[in-house]
Amino acid sequence: MTKRALVTGITGQDGSHLAELLLDKGYEVLGMVRRTSTVNWERIGHFQDRITFVHGDLLDQVSILTILQDYQPQEVYNLAAQSFVPTSWQQPVLTGEFTAIGVTRMLDAIRITNPDIRFYQASSSEMFGKVVEVPQRETTPFYPRSPYGVAKVYGHWITINYRESYDLHATSGILFNHEGPRRGLEFVTRKISNAVAKIKLGLADELRLGNLDSKRDWGYASDYVEAMWLMLQQDEPDDYVVATGQTHSVREFCELAFDRVGLDWEKYVVVDEKFFRPAEVDLLVGDSSKARGVLGWEPKTTFEGLVNLMVDADLALLEGKLKGIA
């Protein structure tokens, strides 16, 4: 029998990669989208005709219940969120509604309609925030440093509570930073790769960034969605850290990105205080031993490979646009 999966946040980076993976595995994919006059199909345009789109909203309990009742998915991947950390400072209440309470609405809808549905919650390394141990693993205490991180902690713990209280197959994946060409331009990695391409093509002359010393555990999003799928194939639900186990600074990302196009990063990067966070997260690096041992998951893409992939994709994108203008 063909499996049916509901993916929230399907038009985002992770949702698009996960949908592709599920389609390749023979799933029927339901993509939950909010009703708007325009929808950004950019990340899924090359396969959107293979997806069944359903209108729903994490702010609206009735719409979630209706989708689960009408379409009866066997798996639900909750990837939708207000996920940009700086915006969470500007809109902390809305971030809480989407990223925290929205998880409860989905879990409660599963409890009511079909407790046998397997549920994946997209937790985040931002929950660790001001880290209390290095590397961070499933048992590391959380110390979030942004409204986004706080909301993710709520979503993580409500998932555990519903799992233990209602015997749901509810799993959280604590994914460390995962990037790629489909990342939004507001995120620092894509901001860098896009700016490098613009500078190389003569379309810009500088790149303004915040804290260059911030260190992250960066992997490739396409590798990480495989871990999400593997979690829901296990007999028992659990929580897993997904990470490369290596940490690199924003400065290192810049060095590699500019080097890819033969430029000296120090000639173009400008540190701008307006891009510093109110409360910085200085160091994140994950221990994914459990995911590697239980799920058999391993990252396939190196840090340098990721940077090169992103710069090459932005160069191709911008060169294509320039040819279209010419």
- pLDDT digits over 3-22, tens only? 999 999 999 999 999 999 99
Q: Which of 77, 148, 162, 240 is catalytic?
A: 148
Query: 117 and 73 in contact (C-beta within 8 Å)?
Result: yes
**CA atoms of 107 and 172, how far apart (whole Å):** 12
Mean pLDDT score, 197-205:
97
For the cut 80, the answer to whether the pLDDT of residue 2 exceeds it is yes
CA 204 to chain centre: 28
b/e map 40-60, b = 16+ CB within 10 Å: eeebbeeebeebebbebbbee
Q: Which sign does the torsion angle of CA 80, 85, 87, 91 carry?
A: positive
Q: Are strands 169-175 and 239-242 parallel, antiparallel or unpaired?
A: parallel
DSSP result, 169-190: EEEEEEEPPEE-TTS-TTSHHH
Q: Annotated catalytic, 37?
A: no
Mean pLDDT score, 44-49:
90
Q: How many other CB atoms sit within 10 Å of the CB of residue 186? A: 12
Q: What's the confidence (pLDDT) of residue 326?
A: 47
Write the CA distances from 304 to 110, 246, 252, 260, integer angstroms. 41, 12, 10, 10
Give 274's pLDDT tier (boundaries 50, 70, 90). Answer: confident
Q: Are strands 219-220 and 239-242 parallel, antiparallel or unpaired?
A: unpaired
Q: What is the pLDDT of residues 119-168, one digit of tens each?
A: 999 999 999 999 999 999 999 999 999 999 999 999 999 999 999 999 99
Domain spans of the chain, in order of start: 4-178+221-242, 184-216+246-282+301-325
**CA atoms of 71 and 30, how far apart (whole Å):** 8
Q: Annotated catalytic, 27?
A: no
Q: Which of 83, 124, 214, 288 is catalytic?
A: 124
Q: Are strands 215-216 and 248-249 parallel, antiparallel or unpaired?
A: antiparallel
Q: Both tokens of residue 249?
A: 């600074």
Q: 3-class SS at 100?
A: helix
Q: Both tokens of residue 186?
A: 């507001």
Q: 3-class SS at 196?
A: helix
Q: Which of 126, 179, 226, 252 is catalytic?
A: 126
Tell me if 4-178+221-242 shares its fold with 184-216+246-282+301-325.
Answer: no
Q: 3-class SS at 32?
A: strand
**CA atoms of 96 and 93, how far apart (whole Å):** 5
Q: What's the confidence (pLDDT) of residue 27?
A: 98
Which of 62-71, 81-90, 231-240 has the lowest average pLDDT?
81-90
Q: What's the confidence (pLDDT) of residue 17?
A: 97
For the cut 80, the answer to whether the pLDDT of residue 282 exceeds it is no
- 184-216+246-282+301-325: what fold? UDP-galactose 4-epimerase; domain 1 (3.90.25)
Write the CA distances from 176 to 11, 110, 122, 212, integer angstroms. 20, 27, 11, 18
Q: What is the pLDDT of residues 81-122, one digit of tens each?
A: 887 788 888 999 999 999 999 999 999 999 999 999 999 999
Q: What's the confidence (pLDDT) of residue 325?
A: 62
Candidate CATH numbers 3.20.20.70, 3.40.50.1820, 3.40.50.720, 3.30.56.10; the one for domain 4-178+221-242: 3.40.50.720
Q: What's the confidence (pLDDT) of residue 201?
A: 97
Q: Annotated catalytic, 124?
A: yes
What DSSP designation does 98 have? I
Query: 6 and 77 in contact (C-beta within 8 Å)?
Result: yes
